[in-house]
Amino acid sequence: MSNITLNHAETADHSHDQEHDNHPHGFRRWLFATNHKDIGTLYLIFSLTMLMVGGVLALLIRAELFQPGLQFVQPEFFNQLTTMHGLIMVFGAIMPAFVGFANWMIPLQIGASDMAFARMNNFSFWLLPVAAILLVTSFWVPGGATAAGWTLYAPLSTQMGPGMDMAIFAIHIMGASSIMGAINIITTILNMRAPGMTLMKMPMFCWTWLITAYLLIAVMPVLAGAITMTLTDRHFGTSFFNAAGGGDPVMYQHIFWFFGHPEVYIMILPAFGMISQIIPTFARKPLFGYASMVYATSSIAILSFMVWAHHMFTTGMPVTGQLFFMYATMLIAVPTGVKVFNWVATMWQGAMTFETPMLFAVGFIFVFTIGGFTGLILAVTPIDVQMQDTYYVVAHFHYVLVAGSLFALFAGFYYWSPKWTGFMYKETRGKIHFWSSLFWFNVTFFPMHFLGLAGMPRRYADYPAQFTDFNMLASIGAFGFGLSQVYFIFFIVLPAYRGGKPADDKPWEGAEGLEWTVPSPAPFHTFEIPPTVK
């Protein structure tokens, strides 16, 4: 009898230990997280932190450019700022933020219990802080951070100090993280959908992320190849990019941009998916042209591999090559135009209300379209030859990446945070954040078009007096935009996680069922309530 009792006691202790292991508390909950929601939260916190770090570097750049002459920093340090701002924003802020949204929302939207590979999910996140520390601390190594620009062009990158090696290592680690995340997303979407959830019934966010994940797997190894060749040129006597040894520095550009152009779409396709779900909710209509949206997204992804050399019109390529890349680039405007048309058609005659997610979504369409048109202008070879490496290009890609990717991330946060936290943010504060962000963004970047047209080159710490007024305006706008994001953190994000007004089961009134944005009814298992509880 005593043995039986002892066995029961041991079993009870064992089950208690198991329960404790399955639900760790404190730092163990986050360090060993395998829950997709916790990992999604970690990604979002990391990306917000890196957004602030990259933002501080941007403000240092704009402070230096407030007026002609050297104010605060030396030219080499100025170039280090531009390089690190680009690398941190692309690999540290925008990409991890979208992966955070994917972790949070994809299992919920397809009715899966979690991501497919929970431990790999944990590992892919914890690689990022290590890489970020490596990247940021390169400022303090002898010779400082790399000043080769975020594209790390040879031959500059083959002659920089040890900061360049740290950047290469950091990018390798971030690339490995991205590939693991992409494998996880593809496996989850293809294998773990609830019964009845066919591919053509998936929410658009799942579709755009599925396509993005394939892009990631295709192009991250290409970047790894480019920076590995740079590393061997630097330390092991190879001459991949050294003309004196029979190499070619322009080959680096071909390899880099074969990664770099699909990378631009990696940073915008998930944004398209978010906007495609937010607009139907607040227009109270199903998404117009669901199937055409899926095909347009796929077309953009395929075409993105065929246009890389439009970044290289001034490298002396043959006219035939210039014509091909010019027309291929213009072709991408067609599926992108389909998307914009479908968003507008969804809003047409809808019962629209303008809560903060909808404001950011409409703002996204307006400002992203401007960025798209300037991209179309830069696709025209003779114009691009004049605009190459001027502030016109800077204005173009910030309209796409800030007003595009970042605005969509804000829209997604306001849209889904009630579901995440259980609390509503304060609507007035959200609207203040939107209008201040939109206003200061345009004050910052619209004048850069004129600077570029007037011939001001980018990555220069000093400039002639004729460029002063527009630079002053851009710098004032940058500080306004920066303060808007500080407001977002302290008055919206932190209060939302501390508590507030409890969110309803359906926080967006009148949107019942429409957050699926599919042409047919949502599948039986939405998992908003466990299937066993009726």
Active site residue 396: no
Catalytic residue among 201, 261, 285, 449: 261
Active site residue 484: no
Active site residue 468: no
Active site residue 8: no
- For residue 375, the surrounding DSSP H or E stretch is helix 356-379
Catalytic residue among 233, 263, 355, 515: 263
Catalytic residue among 47, 151, 157, 178: 178
Backbone angles phi and psi of 381, in degrees to 5: -50, -50
Active site residue 14: no
Catalytic residue among 62, 310, 433, 449: 310
- Is the distance from CB of 411 to CB of 360 less than 8 angstroms? yes
Catalytic residue among 265, 343, 420, 516: 265
Catalytic residue among 43, 150, 399, 516: 150
Could you tell me which residues come within 8 angstroms of residue 513 by beta carbon, excluding any fewer than 6 positions away? 521, 522
- Is the distance from CB of 454 to CB of 467 less than 8 angstroms? yes
Active site residue 389: no
Active site residue 76: no
Could you tell me which residues come within 8 angstroms of residue 76 by beta carbon, excluding any fewer than 6 positions away? 144, 147
DSSP 5: H
Catalytic residue among 30, 34, 49, 114: 114
Active site residue 13: no
Catalytic residue among 62, 193, 311, 433: 311
Catalytic residue among 47, 83, 158, 276: 276
Cβ density class 54-66: b for 16+ within 10 Å, e for less? bbebbbbbbebbb
Catalytic residue among 37, 458, 506, 525: 458
Catalytic residue among 339, 396, 398, 449: 339
Active site residue 458: yes
Catalytic residue among 336, 381, 421, 475: 336
Catalytic residue among 146, 177, 329, 444: 177
- Nearest CA to 349 among 399, 278, 271, 286? 286
Catalytic residue among 85, 234, 285, 396: 85
Could you tell me which residues come within 8 angstroms of residue 459 by beta carbon, excluding any fewer than 6 positions away? 78, 79, 82, 149, 389
Quick one: tokens of 335? 């599926």
Alpha helix (H) residue ranges in 23-117: 27-31, 36-64, 75-87, 95-110
Active site residue 462: no
DSSP 306: G
Active site residue 339: yes
Active site residue 201: no
Three-state secondary-structure class, residue 457: strand
Residues with active-site annotation: 85, 114, 150, 177-178, 261, 263, 265, 276, 310-311, 336, 339, 458
